[in-house]
Structure 1
Amino acid sequence: MSPVLALAGFGVGVIVGLTGMGGGALMTPVLVLFFGVPPLAAVSSDLVASAVMKPFGSFVHIRRGTVNWRLVGWLCAGSVPSAFAGVLLMRAVGGAGGVQHAVQLALGGALLLAVGGLIVKAYRDGSRPAGGPSKPEIRVRPLPTALLGAVGGLVVGLTSVGSGSLIIVVLLALYPMLRANDLVGTDLVQAVPLVAAAALGHVIFGDFHLDLSLAILVGSIPGVLIGARLSSRAPAGAVRAALVLVLLASALKLFGASNLVVIGAVAAVALAGLVVRVVRRSGAARSGADRPVPGREGADQPAPGRPVTPPRDAYAGSNSR
Structure 2
Amino acid sequence: MHFDWAMAGGSFLVAVVVGLTGMGGGALMTPMLVTFFGVSPLAAVSSDLVAAAVMKPVGSLVHLRRGTVNLRLVGWLCAGSVPSAFAGVLVARALGDGASVQDVVQKAMGVALLVAAAGIVVKAWMSRRRADAGEGEDENPEIAVRPLPTALVGSAGGLVVGMTSVGSGSLIIVALLALYPALRANQLVGTDLLQAVPLVFSAALGHLLFGDFQMEVTGALLVGSIPGVYLGSRISSRAPGGIIRRVLAFVLVVSGLKMFGVPAVPLAWTMVGLAAAGGLLWLYGRLLAPARRPRQDGPGGVGEPGRQQAGDQPAAGHVGDPVAS
Q: Is the 8 A contact 1:149 1:170 kept in 2?
A: no
Q: Which residue of 1 aligns with 2:311?
A: none
1:168 corresponds, among 173, 179, 185, to: 173
Output the CA distance in 2 between the equivalents of 1:118 and 1:133. Answer: 17
Amino acid at match of 1:139: A
Amino acid at match of 2:210: F
Amino acid at match of 2:183: L
What is the number of equivalent residue pairs in this alignment?
A: 301
3-state SS in 2 of match to 1:57: helix
Q: Which residue of 2 aligns with 1:81?
A: 83
Q: Does 1:208 align with 2:210?
A: no
Gaps of 5+ in 2: 306-314, 317-325
Percent sequence identity is: 60
Residue correspondence of structure 1 range 140-289 to structure 2 within 5 A:
140-288=145-293
- State the Cα distance separating 1:7 from its structure 2 match: 0.5
- State the Cα distance separating 1:281 from its structure 2 match: 2.6
Q: Which residue of 2 aligns with 1:126?
A: 128
Q: Which residue of 2 aligns with 1:23?
A: 25
Q: Which residue of 2 aligns with 1:47?
A: 49
- State the Cα distance separating 1:254 from its structure 2 match: 1.3
- State the Cα distance separating 1:96 from its structure 2 match: 4.0
Q: Does 1:291 align with 2:290?
A: no
Amino acid at match of 1:118: I
Q: Is the 8 A contact 1:40 1:96 kept in 2?
A: no
Cα RMSD (Å) of the superposition? 1.8
- State the Cα distance separating 1:154 from its structure 2 match: 0.7
Q: Is the 8 A contact 1:58 1:189 kept in 2?
A: yes
Output the CA distance in 1 between the equivalents of 2:292 and 2:93. Answer: 61
Q: TM-score, normalised by structure 2?
A: 0.89
3-state SS in 2 of match to 1:26: helix
Moved more, 259-268 or 106-115: 259-268
Output the CA distance in 2 between the equivalents of 1:299 and 1:155. Answer: 61
Output the CA distance in 1 between the equivalents of 2:152 and 2:297. Answer: 53
Output the CA distance in 2 between the equivalents of 1:282 and 1:51. Answer: 45
Output the CA distance in 2 between the equivalents of 1:26 and 1:89. Answer: 23
Instruction: After superposition, give the CA deviation of every residue in 1:147-170 in whole Å (9 maximum; x if it has no partner).
Output: 111111111111100100110001
Bigger radius of gyration: 1
Output the CA distance in 2 between the equivalents of 1:299 and 1:88. Answer: 72
Output the CA distance in 1 between the equivalents of 2:128 and 2:93. Answer: 47
Amino acid at match of 1:128: R
Q: Which residue of 1 aligns with 2:15?
A: 13
Q: Is the 8 A contact 2:113 2:252 kept in 1?
A: yes
Gaps of 5+ in 1: 301-307, 310-321
Q: Which residue of 1 aligns with 2:308?
A: none
Amino acid at match of 2:36: F
Q: Is the 8 A contact 2:19 2:59 kept in 1?
A: yes
Instruction: After superposition, give the CA deviation of every residue in 1:150-200 in whole Å (9 maximum; x if it has no partner).
Output: 111111111100100110001001000000000000000000000111111
